[in-house]
Every structure is written in structure tokens, then in C-alpha cells.
Amino acid sequence: MNAPLNVDKKLMLDVKDLKVHFDIASKSAWPWSKPSKLKAVDGVNVRLYEGETLGVVGESGCGKSTFARAIIGLVEATEGEVVWLGQDLTKMKAIERRETRKDMQMIFQDPLASLNPRMNIGDIIAEPLITFYPRLSKDEVKARVKAMMDKVGLLPNVINRYPHEFSGGQCQRIGIARALILEPKMIICDEPVSALDVSIQAQVVNLLKELQKELGLSLVFIAHDLSVVKHISDRVLVMYLGNAVELGEAKEIFAEPKHPYTRALMSAVPIPDPEVERNKKIEMLEGDLPSPINPPSGCVFRTRCPKATELCAKETPTLKGADKHAVSCLHVEMV
């Protein structure tokens, strides 16, 4: 079962009021028209501790992947801080951030598209080693690559094969091996199992859990499948339209979700017991996700919320509560 939040653990990552806004060119014929602002991430605060897994969930377009990319530096933060082991990465120059890349790696959603089709898997896995440790001999690099392949369940005799010769699950194992070859302290997993069959999903998730336990990794795990998130996460961050609406221990949030949006997400998760599944109440959301270019005033969820009042249009809620369970809702006591 998921481990409880241990405040005695070392703080690895501290994200403070992170915002990522993009300028969208105006469709107006007038050249002086100002561009619109797309608020992909709009003020997220979260912490990640050593050996912990933070699950990030929400609908498509809620800002999960942009949030992850801003942490690792693939997208520039507009405002806020990303503090990694006491250093604010947003204030570093590109050359200064290079050294932190060894400690922060990423696994992408599409396992085949994230691998260079012109390189064999030995070279793909070895590339980070050659980049950061150019003095290593070819034999040392090859030995480390084979050891990592064995660790993720790939036979060393396939080292000279190319990505197209492997299945989706095997390609994801290659991606995991590449991410782990530098022995990082944190890995961001951006929907790493969404493109895989269910049986392969279980294999990849269990592999990540085993490697995390063995290597002491911290994970940020982004997914749509809440069953997978429940299985792997210690804490969960629920995002909606670039905002954090609920944050806390996974067992707390899955047992008693407080925010109306989280409740709707949880009610959609299938239950193995046919009788319980047949009789459970499904809380449907009405309408579509609003545009992040023109989000609703006040609470961003109010246009789809069954509990919304006039107050929700005037006041913007913030996360309130303890580390164990915090909710961003003006009427949390009503939920």
C-alpha cells in the first residue's frame, strides 16, 4: 500500500507558485493587436521528497505535461520558483542547469517516437553517458549499458538492434534504461504507459516501483488512468485548467476526495466488484473544459461545478489544509 507522507525525508523538489504562460498571436487584422495569454500552468505549489512518488492527474489540456516540462527545463517558467536541492533552477543560466540534468531525467509518453530511429539501442542508452562522461572508454560505456539493460529486463544480445524491431513495452524499457543510465535522483514520467497494452502497463509500472525501491528514486508520475496512479503514488496532485485543485496523500484522496472535480474523476474509475460497480453513483461533469486563453473568473472550475455560487465567480480559491490533504474550494465543507 502507499507509504504515508514522511516529513523527515529529504526535500528534493519545491515548486513555488509556478506559472507557464504562452503568447498566442492575435487573429486580428491590425498589426498592433496584443497577443493573448494562454495560461497553461497558473500558480502551482507542490513538494517532492526523497524516494516519493507524486501522481499528477487531470483531463487532457489541464497542464500536466507543461508542468512537468517546466520543472525539468524543457519549457521556460513565466513566474515562480523550481527549487531543486536548495537551488532555484529558474534563476540559473542554461550552462549552469546542465549539471542538474544528470539528476533529473524524463520518460516520455510515446516510447517509439522518443527514440532516435537511426541509432541502435546501445547507442541510444549510452548517449547521456558519452555526453556527461566523455572520458569513459568504449568498453566502460558498453559495460554500463549492458548492466542497465539487464536491470530493466532487456537481453544484452539485442544491443545492436534498432527501435523499430521492438514492441511498445520493450521500447519503453529502452527509454527507462536511458533515463536511468546517469543514476538520477528524480525521474519525471509523462504518461509512460498510456500507449501500451494493459498487461504491458502493469509490467512497466511494477518495473518502475522495483527500480525506485532499489535506487531510492523520486518520481513524478503523470497519467490519466487513476487505477495506475493509485497503485504507484504516495501523494496525488489533481490539476484543472492549469491550477492545483487538490493535493495530498494518495490513500486520503482516493478514500475521500473533497473537490467536486476530483470526486467526478474518482467516480469514473471502474470497480472490480460487479455489484458495487453496478450500484455506484457516477458524478458526471457537464460542459467542456474552458479555454486556458480565457479562463473563468474566480474559481476556474465554477462553470462545470454543481456547487458553484455567485461567490465562486468573485473569489479565487487557494489550496487550504494540511500536507496530508489540501483542497482549493470555497465550499469544501459542502462537498
pLDDT (tens digit per residue) in 147-180: 999 999 899 899 999 999 998 889 999 999 999 9
Q: 241: number of CA atoms within 13 Å, CB side?
A: 19
Distance of CA 240 to the CA centre of its chain: 14
Q: For residue 120, count other CB atoms closer than 10 A to its CB.
A: 16
User: What local confidence, expressed as pLDDT, does residue 199 receive?
Assistant: 80
Confidence of residue 222 (pLDDT cuts 50, 70, 90): very high
User: What local confidence, expressed as pLDDT, does residue 322 receive?
Assistant: 77
**Three-class DSSP labels, 271-335:** CCCHHHHHHCCCCCCCCCCCCCCCCCCCCCCHHHCCCCCHHHHHCCCCCEEECCEEECCCCHHHC
* Cα 322 to Cα 247: distance, rounded to the nearest angstrom: 9
User: What local confidence, expressed as pLDDT, does residue 114 receive?
Assistant: 86
Cα distance between the two ends of the chain: 26
Residues 39, 40, 46, CA angle at the centre, nearest 5°?
Answer: 110
Confidence of residue 29 (pLDDT cuts 50, 70, 90): low
* Cα 76 to Cα 64: distance, rounded to the nearest angstrom: 15
Residue ranges of the domains in the chain? 11-24+36-103+184-256
User: What local confidence, expressed as pLDDT, does residue 296 receive?
Assistant: 92
Cβ proximity of 46 and 12 under 8 Å: no
pLDDT (tens digit per residue) in 57-79: 998 889 999 999 999 999 999 99
Q: Is the pLDDT of residue 324 over 50?
A: yes
Percent of the chain whose pLDDT exceeds 90: 60
Higher pLDDT, 326 or 333: 326
Confidence of residue 117 (pLDDT cuts 50, 70, 90): very high
Give the pTM.
Answer: 0.89
* Cα 324 to Cα 317: distance, rounded to the nearest angstrom: 19
Q: Is the pLDDT of residue 18 over 60?
A: yes
User: What local confidence, expressed as pLDDT, does residue 51 receive?
Assistant: 94
Distance of CA 116 to the CA centre of its chain: 23
Residues 275, 59, 269, CA angle at the centre, nearest 5°?
Answer: 10
Q: Which residues contact 31 (CB under 8 A, 6 or more apart)?
A: none
| From the candidate CATH numbers 3.40.50.720, 3.40.50.2300, 3.40.50.300, 3.40.190.10, the one assigned to the domain spanning 11-24+36-103+184-256 | 3.40.50.300
User: What local confidence, expressed as pLDDT, does residue 36 receive?
Assistant: 85
User: What local confidence, expressed as pLDDT, does residue 146 receive?
Assistant: 95
